[in-house]
A and B are shown apart, each in its own frame.
Chain A
Amino acid sequence: MTIKVLGPGCMNCKTLERRTLEVLSEMNFKAEVQKVEDLDSIVAYGIMLTPGLVIDEKVVWQGGVPTRDKIKQVLESALAGRVAP
């Protein structure tokens, strides 16, 4: 699973990256987390309100820092979607 955190590098984007990593280690789940800071690549995903979260090339969140529970829920549903598409 590839997770991308999109944002030009402001405080909220860093918070989202940190939380995502925390939730991943809490769930004991290994995934590659990338930080995308280039404006054109961010917009190419349709993300305008940063920070945004992309799982396997699909936008699952944008426009603020989600709570840990929300990140967990998004990750779980992405996992479920993989097993039974």
Chain B
Amino acid sequence: MREWQKVLVLVGIFLIFYFAPIDAAVVTTSISAGLILLQEYARLHVLTCLVPAFFIAGTIAVYVKKDAVMRLLGPKTKKYIAYPVGTISGGILAVCSCTILPLFTGIYKRGGGIGPAVAFLFTGPAVNITAILLTSSVLGWDFAIGRLIGAMVISIFAGLIMAFVFREHDKKTTENGFAAGLESDLPYSNLTVTFFFVLQLAVLVIFGLSIDPTFKAILIVLLITSIAGIVLFKFRREHSMEWLRETWNLTKKIMPYLFAGVFIAGMIETLVPEEIVTGLVGENTLPSNAIASTFGAFMYFATLTEVPIIQKLMGLGMGRGPALTLFLTGNALSLPSMIVLFNVMGRKQASVYIVTVVSLSVIAGWIFGEIF
């Protein structure tokens, strides 16, 4: 930042505090609503959901052997394997959102081709394990599962449509050297890693159960002791340190944005009139799902912030169908990501992709709203 920019920022802050009607009712109520929601998240979701979820994400980043999954996305894999792998691999390969685009570009240009690449691109951000766990903690299991299944089904359809419309694309991409330098040298069996993973997941699930508190505390202590036992005595020190580093990096990256998002979501509740929300997206109709879908496609949500924002929009009367639609496109698309897609895929393919996923999300949200 240049010196004159700092001067401008400082002058701006000064002018805001000089003139802003800080004691006006609308300002004080919206700020306190933001703080109240922050307290709700701090009390209900941070220790019992987010902290375990970050450790789990750290485990995936360090201990899961990625080479096997990557090979299944290569140019020689059968299509009926590459598509399902594309849809679920986002949860295994891409713990951080900045890994999604290089991976997509790689699969698109050198690997399984446009279909599996598109399937990965759409679900990558949505099947993120921390996002699913927070959704279930805040909005319930039905939403978490709806979000997961909705994203997976849409991504396969979108992939198939893209592969059909742009049949020519895949004919020139068969190269070797896919996924080189990925040999993993982790000396642990799949069983150990799976057990370690399940123990951490169990901590999270037990936190969520409504059982006798003493019994719950005993179970949690037992689980954490066994996790610590594996970390200390089974895993090598360097890998355990790596696990902690990865968990901490993720926390550091996500938490500030999440808290800012929670605060803003709390403010939305008092700033946005209820009539607008119920009027536009209150009912589960195709037009209201279309509004939610288009809004989500352009709007940028930092990782996890979609959860408090949708929670509060639902508090203002947003229907369940449009809410799921917003989850689907809100994560997968944003204005910045569209610009990157235009560069990587070209104007024609990017436009077809965007229109396809926006329409499929409308249908998926509508079906969810009708059933649940």
Q: In the bound complex, how far is the Cα of B111 from the Cα of A19, in angstroms? A: 30
Q: Across the interface, which residues of B come within 8 angstroms of A53, CB to CB?
A: 181
Q: In the bound complex, how far is the Cα of B359 from the Cα of A49, in angstroms? A: 30
**Interchain CB contact under 8 A, A43 and B102:** yes
**Interchain CB contact under 8 A, B102 and A8:** yes
Within residues 175 to 191 of chain B, which ones have a CB less than 8 A from any CB in chain A?
A: 175, 177-182, 185
Q: In the bound complex, how far is the Cα of B249 from the Cα of A9, in angstroms? A: 14
**Interchain CB contact under 8 A, A10 and B105:** no
**Interchain CB contact under 8 A, A47 and B106:** yes
Q: Does B212 contact A (CB under 8 A)?
A: no
Q: Which of B98, B107, B185 contacts A48 (CB 8 A)?
A: B107
Q: How far is the CB of B77 from chain A (nearest CB, A)?
A: 14
**Interchain CB contact under 8 A, A62 and B182:** yes
**Interchain CB contact under 8 A, B110 and A50:** no
Q: Which of A11, A39, A63, A69 contacts B66 (CB 8 A)?
A: A63
With A39-B101, A39-B102 as known contacts, state yes or no: A46 contacts B110, CB within 8 Å. Answer: yes
**Interchain CB contact under 8 A, A65 and B242:** yes
**Interchain CB contact under 8 A, B238 and A67:** yes
**Interchain CB contact under 8 A, B238 and A48:** no
Q: In the bound complex, how far is the Cα of B183 from the Cα of A6, in angstroms? A: 17
Q: How far is the CB of A66 from chain B (nearest CB, A)?
A: 9
With A39-B344, A67-B238 as known contacts, state yes or no: A49 contacts B182, CB within 8 Å. Answer: yes
Within residues 12 to 51 of chain B, which ones have a CB less than 8 A from any CB in chain A?
A: none
Q: Does B226 contact A (CB under 8 A)?
A: no
Q: Which of B93, B178, B185, B242 contacts A46 (CB 8 A)?
A: B178
Q: Across the interface, which residues of A come within 8 angstroms of B98, CB to CB?
A: 8-10, 50
Q: Which of A10, A40, A43 contacts B96 (CB 8 A)?
A: A10
Q: Does A60 contact B (CB under 8 A)?
A: yes
**Interchain CB contact under 8 A, B180 and A42:** no
Sort chain A's interface into a size bin: 20 to 34
Q: Across the interface, which residues of A come within 8 angstroms of B244, CB to CB?
A: none
Q: How far is the CB of B292 from chain A (nearest CB, A)?
A: 30
Q: Which of B70, B110, B182, B185 contacts A43 (CB 8 A)?
A: B110
Q: Across the interface, which residues of A come within 8 angstroms of B175, CB to CB?
A: 46
**Interchain CB contact under 8 A, B180 and A49:** no
Q: In the bound complex, how far is the Cα of B62 from the Cα of A70, in angstroms? A: 14
Within residues 88 to 119 of chain B, which ones have a CB less than 8 A from any CB in chain A?
A: 93, 96, 98-99, 101-103, 105-107, 109-111
Q: In the bound complex, how far is the Cα of B239 from the Cα of A12, in angstroms? A: 16
Q: Does B61 contact A (CB under 8 A)?
A: yes
Within residues 37 to 96 of chain B, which ones have a CB less than 8 A from any CB in chain A?
A: 61-62, 66-67, 70, 93, 96
Q: Give a binary string over A41-65; 1 marks a CB under 8 Å from any B CB, 0 the rest.
A: 0110011111011000001111111
Q: Does B347 contact A (CB under 8 A)?
A: no
**Interchain CB contact under 8 A, A50 and B66:** no
**Interchain CB contact under 8 A, B181 and A60:** yes
Q: In the bound complex, how far is the Cα of B67 from the Cα of A59, in angstroms? A: 14
Q: How far is the CB of B296 from chain A (nearest CB, A)?
A: 24
Q: Which of B67, B106, B110, B249 contacts A12 (CB 8 A)?
A: B249
Q: Give a binary string over B103-145; 1 marks a CB under 8 Å from any A CB, 0 the rest.
A: 1011101110000000000000000000000000000000000
**Interchain CB contact under 8 A, A64 and B181:** no
**Interchain CB contact under 8 A, A59 and B61:** no
Q: In the bound complex, how far is the Cα of B108 from the Cα of A43, in angstroms? A: 10
Q: Across the interface, which residues of B come within 8 angstroms of A46, CB to CB?
A: 106, 110, 175, 177-180
Q: In the bound complex, how far is the Cα of B66 from the Cα of A77, in angstroms? A: 23
**Interchain CB contact under 8 A, B242 and A67:** yes
- List the 4 shortest-distance A-B pairs measured between CB atoms, nearest first: A48-B106, A10-B98, A59-B181, A46-B177
| Partner-B contacts on A (CB < 8 A) | 7-12, 39-40, 42-43, 46-50, 52-53, 59-65, 67, 69-70
Told that A64-B62, A65-B245 touch, could you supply 12 new A-B pairs with CB distance under 8 A? A11-B253, A12-B249, A40-B105, A46-B180, A47-B181, A48-B111, A49-B93, A50-B98, A60-B181, A61-B181, A64-B61, A64-B66
